[in-house]
C-alpha cells in the first residue's frame, strides 16, 4: 500500500472519535460540531460539519458511519496503527470514507495534535459512529 493511500486510510480513522460518555479521555480529544442541517432533497439524511482535535497519546477506535464522511487534515501529525510503523499524516491530506466501511484504529504519536475538518452526510436516525471490533 502506498504511503499516501495508507495515510488516507489512517486519516479516516480520526473520525472514530466520539465524545461525552465515551471511552476516550475528554482532555485528550475534542470534537466541536460547527453546523448540522437536514440534507435538502434527501429525507432522513443530515449534514454535520466538525473540527476534531486528537492530542498525542489519544487513540481512535475502528468504526464506520451510516453515510459518507469527507474531511481535510488541518494540522498533520504522526499516527500509528497496531503492529505498524508510525506514519506522518500530512497537513492538506483529503479524507473520504464510504457508507458502512470500517476504518480507524490508530494512536496519535509524537508531540503534535492531529486536527481535522470533517463533513458527514449520514442517516439522521442513526448514531454518527458505529464501533467495530
Q: Which residues make Cβ contacts (< 8 Å) with residue 20, sequence separation at least 6?
A: none
Q: Tell which residue, 11, 9, 5, has the closest CA to residue 76.
A: 11
In the chain the first and final C-alpha atoms are separated, in Å, by 22
**pLDDT at residue 99, rounded to an integer:** 96
pLDDT above 70 coverage of the chain, percent: 79
Confidence band, pLDDT 50/70/90 cuts, at residue 7? very low
Confidence band, pLDDT 50/70/90 cuts, at residue 105? confident
Between 12 and 88, whose confidence is greater? 88
**How many CA atoms does the CB half-sphere of 41 hold within 13 Å?**
0
Between 19 and 9, whose confidence is greater? 9
Distances (CA, A) of 5 to 9, 96, 104: 6, 11, 13
**pLDDT at residue 9, rounded to an integer:** 43
The pTM assigned to this predicted structure is 0.77
| Burial grade of 86 (CB within 10 A; 0-12, 13-18, 19 or more) | middle
* Whether CATH 3.40.140.10 fits 3-131: no
Amino acid at each position: 500500500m502506498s504511503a499516501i493511500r495508507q495515510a488516507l486510510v489512517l486519516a479516516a480513522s480520526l473520525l472514530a472519535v466520539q465524545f461525552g460518555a465515551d471511552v476516550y479521555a475528554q482532555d485528550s480529544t475534542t470534537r466541536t460540531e460547527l453546523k448540522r442541517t437536514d440534507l435538502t432533497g434527501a429525507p432522513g439524511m443530515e449534514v454535520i460539519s466538525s473540527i476534531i482535535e486528537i492530542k498525542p497519546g489519544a487513540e481512535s477506535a475502528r468504526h464506520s458511519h451510516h453515510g459518507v464522511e469527507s474531511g481535510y487534515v488541518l494540522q498533520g501529525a504522526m499516527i500509528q496503527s497496531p503492529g505498524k510503523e508510525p506514519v506522518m499524516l500530512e497537513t492538506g491530506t483529503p479524507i473520504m470514507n464510504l457508507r458502512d466501511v470500517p476504518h480507524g484504529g490508530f494512536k496519535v504519536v509524537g508531540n503534535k495534535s492531529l486536527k481535522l475538518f470533517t463533513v458527514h452526510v449520514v442517516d439522521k436516525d442513526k448514531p454518527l459512529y458505529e464501533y467495530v471490533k
